C-alpha cells in the first residue's frame, strides 16, 4: 500500500499530495511504502498545493499551474518510515481549474534505490461551512513493477475560529483497506503575509490499509509547515513533523519517527 493524500490536500506541511501503499519489504516489520503524494500525505509535506491555494494566486477564469520540488529527510507515511536508508527527492506538477485538480508526482530515493510515480485527480467544492473533496490516485512502484489505486474523500469545517478541523479517508484497492485521519490545523502569517506557518496535529486510524491483521489506533502526528514568498509566484516551503507510534504501528515492531522537508513551489 502506499498513500498521502489526499493532496491533502494541504493539512500542514504544505505540499499537494500525499500516501500510498505497502508493496516492497523496505523496512523490517513493515509491508512497504504508504504514500499517495497526490491525495493524502503530501498534504503535510510541502509544495504545490499550498502555493496554488494562496488567495492572491487563484484566478477564476483560467487554469493555474504549480510546480514543486522537494527533499524529505525520510519517506514517512501512515506513521512508518518506508525506506531503510535516507529520504527522497520529489518533483510534482499540478493543474487546477474551477475546483478540479490533476497532476503527477515522481520521487526517487536519495540513498536507496527507490522510484515511485503517482498520477491523481481531485474535485473540491464548498457546501455551506464544509469544504468537501473527492479524489483518485494511480500509484506505480517502478523498482518492483507493482501498482495500486486509491480513492479518497475529505471534509473540512471552515467556520470554526482560529482552527480548521478536517477528516480524510483513503481506500486502497490493493490492500482492500482504508486509513482515516482526523486533523486540526491553524494558520499564522508574518512579514505582511509573506511568511505563513501552519501547525497541525492529527490522529490516524488504520482499517486494513497498512496492515491487514490490525485495525484501530495507528499514530498521532504533529508538525508545522512553512511557506515563504520569495517573489510573486515563487515560494520556499518546508515542514518539520513527528509521529508517535500507536498499536497498529507498534505491532509491526516499529516506533516513533521524526523528519523534515524543504523545497520550492512555483505557480503560473
Mean of the per-residue pLDDT values for the chain? 83
C-alpha grid cell, residue 95: 493543474
Q: What is the pLDDT of residue 119?
A: 96
CA neighbours closer than 13 Å in the CB half-sphere of residue 222 = 2
As beta bridge partners, residue 63 has none
Instruction: Evaluate if residue 45 carries a pLDDT over 50.
Output: no
The answer to whether 65 and 267 have CB atoms below 8 angstroms apart is: yes
Q: What is the pLDDT of residue 225?
A: 96
Q: What is the pLDDT of residue 227?
A: 96
The percentage of the chain sitting over the pLDDT mark of 90, rounded to a whole number, equals 75
User: Would you place residue 53 in the very low, low, confident or very high pLDDT band (cuts 50, 70, 90)?
Assistant: low
String of DSSP letters for 152-173: EEEEEE--STT-EEEEEEEEET
The percentage of the chain sitting over the pLDDT mark of 70, rounded to a whole number, equals 78
User: Would you place residue 196 in the very low, low, confident or very high pLDDT band (cuts 50, 70, 90)?
Assistant: very high
Q: What is the pLDDT of residue 1?
A: 57
Q: What is the pLDDT of residue 100?
A: 95
As beta bridge partners, residue 181 has 168, 204
Q: Which long-range contacts (C-beta less than 8 Å, at least 24 apart) are formed by 239-243?
A: 239/12, 239/13, 239/14, 239/15, 239/44, 239/45, 239/46, 241/13, 241/44, 241/76, 243/76, 243/79, 243/219
Instruction: Look at 57-66, 181-190, 242-251 and tell me which has the smallest mean pLDDT.
Output: 57-66
Q: Are strands 115-127 and 100-109 parallel, antiparallel or unpaired?
A: antiparallel
Interval 63-114: pLDDT, tens: 999 999 999 999 999 999 999 999 999 999 999 999 999 999 999 999 999 9
Instruction: Evaluate if residue 135 carries a pLDDT over 90.
Output: yes
Compute the radius of gyration of the chain from its Cα atoms.
17
Instruction: Look at 3-17, 42-56, 222-236 and tell me which has the smallest mean pLDDT.
Output: 3-17
Instruction: Give the residue, 64 or 46, on which the prediction is more confident.
Output: 64
Interval 238-257: pLDDT, tens: 999 999 999 999 999 999 99
Structural domains of the chain ordered from first start:
5-267 (2.40.160.40)
Interval 11-40: pLDDT, tens: 333 433 333 333 333 333 334 444 443 344
Angstrom CA distances, 174 to 114, 138, 151, 248, stand at 19, 11, 11, 19
Q: What is the pLDDT of residue 2?
A: 54
The answer to whether 167 and 154 have CB atoms below 8 angstroms apart is: yes
Interval 159-172: pLDDT, tens: 999 999 999 999 99
Q: Is 34 exposed, middle or buried (0-12, 13-18, 19+ CB in 10 A)?
A: buried
Instruction: Give the residue, 3 or 217, on which the prediction is more confident.
Output: 217
Amino acid at each position: 500500500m502506499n498513500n498521502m493524500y489526499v493532496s491533502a490536500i494541504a493539512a500542514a506541511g504544505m505540499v499537494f499530495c500525499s500516501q500510498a501503499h505497502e508493496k516492497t519489504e523496505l523496512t523490517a516489520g513493515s509491508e512497504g511504502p504508504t504514500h499517495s503524494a497526490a491525495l493524502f500525505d503530501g498534504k503535510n509535506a510541502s509544495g504545490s498545493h499550498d502555493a496554488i491555494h494562496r488567495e492572491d494566486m487563484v484566478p477564476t477564469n483560467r487554469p493555474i499551474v504549480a510546480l514543486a520540488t522537494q527533499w524529505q529527510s525520510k519517506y514517512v507515511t501512515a506513521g512508518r518510515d518506508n525506506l531503510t536508508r535516507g529520504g527522497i527527492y520529489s518533483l510534482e506538477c499540478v493543474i487546477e481549474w474551477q475546483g478540479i485538480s490533476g497532476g503527477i508526482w515522481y520521487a526517487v530515493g536519495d540513498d536507496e534505490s527507490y522510484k515511485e510515480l503517482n498520477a491523481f485527480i481531485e474535485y473540491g467544492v464548498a457546501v455551506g461551512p464544509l469544504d468537501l473533496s473527492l479524489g483518485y490516485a494511480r500509484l506505480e512502484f517502478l523498482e518492483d513493477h507493482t501498482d495500486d489505486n486509491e480513492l479518497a474523500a475529505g471534509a473540512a469545517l471552515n467556520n470554526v475560529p482560529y482552527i480548521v478541523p478536517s477528516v480524510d479517508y483513503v481506500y486502497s484497492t490493493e490492500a482492500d483497506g482504508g486509513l482515516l485521519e482526523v486533523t486540526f490545523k491553524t494558520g499564522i502569517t508574518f512579514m505582511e503575509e509573506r511568511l505563513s506557518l501552519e501547525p497541525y496535529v492529527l490522529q490516524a486510524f488504520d482499517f486494513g490499509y497498512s496492515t491487514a491483521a490490525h485495525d484501530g489506533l495507528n499514530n498521532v502526528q504533529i508538525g508545522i509547515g512553512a511557506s515563504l514568498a520569495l517573489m510573486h509566484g515563487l515560494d520556499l516551503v518546508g515542514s518539520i513533523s513527528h509521529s508517535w507510534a500507536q498499536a497498529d504501528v507498534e505491532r509491526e515492531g516499529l516506533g516513533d519517527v521524526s523528519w523534515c522537508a524543504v523545497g520550492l513551489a512555483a505557480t503560473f
